[in-house]
Amino acid sequence: MDLLDFSDCKLYFEDALPAEAERLIAQAASEYGDPAAELSLLRAHLLAPENLSVLVGLYRYYFYQHRLEDALVVAERAMQLSGRHLGLPTDWNLLDETRLGSAAKNSFGLLRFYLLALKAASVVLLRLGQISASRARLAKLAGLDSRDQLGAGKLLEVVDEFQHSDEPVLSLAAA
């Protein structure tokens, strides 16, 4: 399965968003760096709690504000919502090629979103110093993405290289 082929799939940001929630997201973007931005995003989330665009906005806000625990909660919520719509198990450990194939038939774009949310959770866990938890997720992704189109395999190589070097701590800077 080509995880980079978007030619025939609906993407998460194409889902309808209530006008007020859309306005609040735009307001949050203009308020970035100001604590009011979070309030705007949370209000948008109250209006559209299952909209993935709202969750992406919250995740990005928390990640770039270095509020990693909050970013992790949002990434896991995004996985929960998209996984439910795809018929995936709630435990990502149970993912396999058969389940991914079924999910891809349902919505390829949403499946890709789910896998990227899993990768995002892995990155946050790395930043939190939870290397083994992150590594487990990256290994699962790498095993499911044989062509490494999502880059989990390369990231896993970096983690493993760091773990086997003389460096005492793995530290990732914010992107």
Q: Cα separation of 41 and 122, whole Å?
A: 23
Q: Cα separation of 113 and 84, whole Å?
A: 13
- pLDDT at residue 16 is higher than 90: no
Res 10: pLDDT = 61
Residue 161's pLDDT band, with cuts at 50, 70 and 90, is confident
String of DSSP letters for 150-167: TSHHHHHHHHHHHHTSS-
- pLDDT at residue 144 is higher than 90: yes
Residue 162's pLDDT band, with cuts at 50, 70 and 90, is confident
Q: Cα separation of 40 and 84, whole Å?
A: 26
Res 32: pLDDT = 85
For range 46-56, the mean pLDDT? 95
Q: For residue 66, give the 3-state DSSP assignment.
A: coil
Complete domains list, the chain, with CATH:
12-163 (1.25.40.10)
Residue 12's pLDDT band, with cuts at 50, 70 and 90, is low
Q: Cα separation of 31 and 56, whole Å?
A: 17
CA 126 to chain centre: 14
For range 146-163, the mean pLDDT? 89
Please write the tens of the pLDDT for every residue from 96-142: 999 999 998 888 899 999 999 999 999 999 999 999 999 999 999 99
Mean of the per-residue pLDDT values of the chain: 88
Distance (Å) of CA 40 to CA 1, 53, 69: 38, 14, 20
83-10-124 Cα angle (round to 5): 45
Q: Cα separation of 81 and 103, whole Å?
A: 13
Q: For residue 146, give the 3-state DSSP assignment.
A: coil
Residue 173's CB is within 10 A of a number of other CB atoms, namely 5
Q: Cα separation of 154 and 157, whole Å?
A: 5
Give the rounded percent of residues in the chain with a pLDDT score beyond 70.
85
- pLDDT at residue 163 is higher than 70: yes
Give the rounded percent of residues in the chain with a pLDDT score beyond 90.
71
- pLDDT at residue 171 is higher than 70: no
